C-alpha cells in the first residue's frame, strides 16, 4: 500500500489541487487535520463547503481518510467542548473521519479527532482500546498532533506535541502514527519528519509555502517512507532501526519520481 500523508493545508486551494492530482498515483490519501484556516478572510462555514468539494474530488480518485485539527473546530458539543462537526459530512462521501475505525486489507486505521476537553479525550481513549482488541497485522493511527518530546513535534525552541498521545503510543505501540500540526519540525535543527517510539513510527510532513505541500509517502510493501519538500527529500527504512541523520533520497523509485515530475509541472 502506498499512502500519501498531507496535513496543514490551511485552506490553500493550490495544495488541495495538488492532492487531487496526486491521488490516482497512490493507493490511499490521508489528510491529517487543519484543512481550514482560522485567520482566513473567508468565513469558515464557506471554507468547509469548498473543502468538502475537494474531499469529494479526491475520493473519486483514491480512498481518503480524514481527521480534524485545531483549525477545523466549529461547534461545541453537549459538554461545551469544541468539535469539527462539519467534518462528519464527509461520511456521506464514503470518507471515514473523526472517531471512525477503518480497515483496508491487513491494516486498521484509527482516526482520532482533535480533543478540546476531557470528554473527547476519553472517547479517543475508548476508541483506541476497542481497536487494540481487534488489532490486525498493521495498526495505523491518524492524529493531528504528534506526541510530545518527539523531533516530529519540535518547533525550534520547545515541543508542541501532545503528552496524552505520547502516553497512548507508549501503552499500545501502534505500527505507525500519521500526524501534522507542528509546521516547522522537519525544517529546524533537532526536528524531523520521522521518529520512532518503541516499535511505533511517527510521521509529520510539516508545512511549506507554495502550491505543493511537503508530504510523506509510506510504502508498506517497501517497507519504506519518503519525505519530499522544497528543501530536501529523505527516506527511512521501516524494517530497520531509526538512524540519524536520515539519508537523502538520491534514487527514488520510478513511481515516486513520477509523482515528483508531475508535481514539478505545477511550478513551471
Residue pLDDT, tens place only, 197-224: 999 999 999 999 999 999 999 999 999 9
Radius of gyration over alpha carbons of the chain, in Å?
17
- In this prediction, residue 260 has a pLDDT band, given cuts at 50, 70 and 90, of confident
Read out DSSP for 220-258?
TTTTEEEEE-SS-EEEEETTS---SSPPB--S--HHHHH
Buried b (16+ CB within 10 A) or exposed e, 225-246: bbbbbeeeebbbebeeeeeeeb
Q: Report the CATH fold assignment for 2-264.
A: Purple Acid Phosphatase; chain A, domain 2 (3.60.21)
pTM of the shown model = 0.97
For residue 147, what is the DSSP state?
A: B
Residue pLDDT, tens place only, 43-74: 999 999 999 999 999 999 999 999 999 999 99
Query: Could you state, in order of their start, the residue ranges of all structural domains in the chain?
Result: 2-264
Amino acid at each position: 500500500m502506498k499512502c500519501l500523508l498531507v496535513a496543514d493545508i490551511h485552506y490553500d486551494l493550490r495544495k488541495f489541487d495538488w492532492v487531487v492530482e496526486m491521488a490516482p498515483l497512490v493507493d490511499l490519501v490521508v489528510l491529517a487535520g487543519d484543512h481550514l484556516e482560522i485567520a482566513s478572510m473567508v468565513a469558515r462555514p464557506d471554507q468547509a463547503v469548498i473543502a468538502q468539494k475537494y474531499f469529494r474530488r479526491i475520493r473519486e480518485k483514491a480512498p481518503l481518510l480524514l481527521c480534524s485539527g485545531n483549525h477545523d473546530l466549529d461547534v461545541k458539543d453537549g459538554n461545551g467542548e469544541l468539535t469539527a462537526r462539519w467534518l462528519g459530512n464527509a461520511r456521506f462521501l464514503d470518507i471515514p473521519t473523526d472517531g471512525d475505525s477503518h480497515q483496508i486489507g491487513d491494516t486498521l486505521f484509527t482516526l482520532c479527532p482533535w480533543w478540546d476537553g476531557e470528554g473527547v479525550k476519553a472517547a479517543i481513549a475508548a476508541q483506541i482500546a476497542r481497536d487494540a482488541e481487534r488489532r490486525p497485522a498493521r495498526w495505523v493511527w491518524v492524529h493531528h498532533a504528534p506526541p510530545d518530546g518527539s523531533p516530529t513535534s519540535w518547533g525550534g525552541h520547545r515541543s508542541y506535541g501532545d503528552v496524552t498521545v505520547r502516553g497512548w503510543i507508549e501503552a499500545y505501540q501502534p505500527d505507525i502514527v500519521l500526524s501534522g500540526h507542528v509546521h516547522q519540525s522537519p525544517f529546524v535543527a533537532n526536528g524531523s519528519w520521522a521518529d520512532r517510539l518503541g516499535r511505533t513510527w511517527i510521521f509529520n510532513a510539516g508545512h511549506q509555502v507554495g502550491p505543493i505541500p511537503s508530504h510523506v509517502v509510506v510504502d508498506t510493501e517497501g517497507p519504506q517512507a519518503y519525505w519530499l519538500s522544497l528543501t530536501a527529500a529523505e527516506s527511512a527504512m521501516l524494517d530497520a532501526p531509526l538512524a540519524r541523520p536520515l539519508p537523502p533520497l538520491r534514487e527514488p523509485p520510478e513511481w515516486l519520481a513520477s509523482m515528483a515530475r508531475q508535481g514539478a509541472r505545477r511550478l513551471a
